[in-house]
Amino acid sequence: MNSQQNSRKYILIVTVMLILAVVYLIKLFSLQVVNKDYAEAAKNNALRQITEHPDRGLIYDRNDSLLVFNDAAYDLMVVPKELRTFDTLDLCRILDITKEELETRIEKASAYSKIIPSLFAQQMSKEDYGYLQEKMFKFPGFFVQTRTLRSYPEAVAAHILGYVGEVSEQTMEDDPYYKMGDYIGISGIEKAYETELRGVKGQRVVLVDVNNREIGSYHNGEEDVKAVPGTALWSTLDLRLQRYGEQLMQNKRGSIVAIEPKTGEILCIVSSPGYDPNLLVGKDRSKNYRMLLMDSIKKPLFNRALQAMYPPGSTFKLANGLIAQEEGILTANTIYPCPGGYQVGSHKIGCHHSGPTNLMSAVQHSCNTYFCKAFYNIISNKSKYKTIQQGYTAWREHIMKLGFGTTFDTDLPYEKKGILPSADYFDRVYLGHWNGNSVVSMGIGQGEVCVTPIQMANMLAVIANRGYYVRPHVIKAIGTKDHLNTQYMDKVNVDIKPQYFDPIIEGMEMAATAGTARGAQIEGIRVAGKTGTAQNPHGRDHSVFALIAPVDDPQIVVFCLVENGGWGASVACPIASLIAELYLTGEVKRKAVEENMLNLSLK
């Protein structure tokens, strides 16, 4: 062995080590400097973004009584990427789900995102939460997020308040604000004011260790974003009135809509049968929703106040009386004789009153003959309109200006337009040959016209305001009580001169004092009313009542319809009047009437 050979071996050994070292450094360079994936992975690995769900905005009634508030709920979230083998049985037992269900949920979450937390089990009970919290270390990849659920101090106004539910996949695609498991307003006020109510989600970045434990906040919380709580809303509803209305409508079908005419603010809006809004909260929401949806007898989800279309009945005569004056067909003192009915060919539309009648008295006694004649004259006004089509169209335009055949498009959920056929429709039906008598029943609110209770209540507001309405809405103020919701404050003019309203109101007042609507009288208050009996081909007629009070300075208009209630005077009239009494006087003195109505069951 010579030393040259040995020194060559030394050099070779050192060279091999240097080459190895270079290989290692190249690998390290690619790992640390070239490849950026690892830095990203590290973020997801050690940092967990926890979404801070803001409290949804509270909803108050017009007198600061709470309608909707929030209750704490605990959601179990899962981060699929962080999942490792765990005792599935144990988790299934705690959550009371099957293993298949557990696997399905994990798959669903994985399909959504591997690293963004997904909702795994929502709204655990406080007991389950406490139990799970202690065992959390056994379930890597899971964590509990607290958030709030809607809660209702009183089970009222479910249709109008609406409900919140998990956001749909479609919505998530359309609006990146929403992540899987977020809640969103699905109907009613919750939906209409979603952006105000939801607030702004916050974010907390926390360090977690491999055992799923939170170690502390990241960068001392510098990257955290505080959640902004949702904005509070003040509803136009009067909780007391709403509650009372719903009580009065117990065991009846139908609707009450009360509006403050000057502002279009809905004071109470009842659709009966309704449901307890607390049913559509929490983990049983879908189950309860299905149950409500399947109830084909009561149809509790059906909001009659906005969606049910009824023949308006005699209350529609008020509109025709106004239009007839505006069209120059008659004045307050125009007298039509009433022979106890209106003859249409061989058919006679009966009238329970007879004798010569002026407009006021026609309203007071709900004279069919008078309004049939008036309606006939409006649409067959040869001096103004050449054809029946033109005459009818002119009438129809007036009616639409009063808010019929259309929707108000305010914050009300799913309004229906009602039915208001065009002239074309009658052309088709009568093959082009029709005259005023063909459609004359529309003059007394029967026939082809159908309206919703909210439209009728709005018409009452027009009468009370003598010529205009403010679109009916349910939210008065946003954020603070004096920050008014200005979107729906415009006055809509109906193009009928104010003086034409006087005989109508006078007639209504006469009806309430000495006519069909005597049951509407409230002690110390001048009430104007109009009964209606909407013909119902399927059974007993619907009882309808329209009320304006006080006459000298209307504060409230009430429209009430009770299905199968019979005469307007029998059920709808006392109910509407009780509502007005409570609102205007703060108490109900007619205990016997109240008792009667509360106990009346038309189921």
Contacts to other proteins by CB under 8 A: 1, 3, 6-7, 9-11, 13-14, 17-18, 20-21, 23-25, 27-29, 31-33, 35, 37-39, 41-43, 45-47, 81, 83-85, 207-211, 215-217
Question: In the chain, what is the straight-line distance between the N-terminal and C-terminal CA atoms, in Å?
Answer: 116
Contact 279, 424 (CB under 8 A): no
Q: Which is nearer to other proteins, 61 or 224 (CB)?
A: 224
> Residue 167 corresponds to which amino acid?
V
Q: Which is nearer to other proteins, 16 or 514 (CB)?
A: 16
Q: Which is nearer to other proteins, 56 or 105 (CB)?
A: 105
Neighbouring CB atoms inside 10 A of 448's CB total: 14
- Reduce the DSSP state of residue 50 to 3 states and report it: strand
Q: Which is nearer to other proteins, 21 or 514 (CB)?
A: 21
Q: Which is nearer to other proteins, 41 or 291 (CB)?
A: 41
CA distances from 36 to 25, 39, 210, 244, 530 (A): 17, 6, 22, 65, 77
Q: Which is nearer to other proteins, 9 or 382 (CB)?
A: 9
Query: What DSSP assignment string belongs to 146-160?
Result: EEEEEE-SS---HHH
- At closest approach, how far in Å is the CB of 409 from other proteins? 53
Q: Which is nearer to other proteins, 81 or 179 (CB)?
A: 81
- At closest approach, how far in Å is the CB of 214 from other proteins? 10
Helices 501-514 & 317-326, crossing angle to 10 degrees?
150
Q: Determine phi and psi for 122, rounding to 5 degrees.
A: -100, 150
- At closest approach, how far in Å is the CB of 173 from other proteins? 28
- At closest approach, how far in Å is the CB of 222 from other proteins? 13
- At closest approach, how far in Å is the CB of 39 from other proteins? 5
- At closest approach, how far in Å is the CB of 88 from other proteins? 14
Q: Which is nearer to other proteins, 42 or 89 (CB)?
A: 42
Q: How far apart are CA 547 and CA 577, in angstroms?
A: 7
Question: Both tokens of residue 320?
Answer: 């025709």
199: left (phi over 0), alpha (psi -120 to 50) or beta: left
- At closest approach, how far in Å is the CB of 153 from other proteins? 41
Q: Which is nearer to other proteins, 118 or 369 (CB)?
A: 118
Query: What DSSP assignment string belongs to 372-432?
Result: HHHHHHHHT-TTT-SSHHHHHHHHHHHHHHTT-SS---SS-SS----B---HHHHHHHTTT
Contact 146, 156 (CB under 8 A): no
- At closest approach, how far in Å is the CB of 203 from other proteins? 18
What DSSP state is assigned to residue 586? S
- At closest approach, how far in Å is the CB of 51 from other proteins? 20
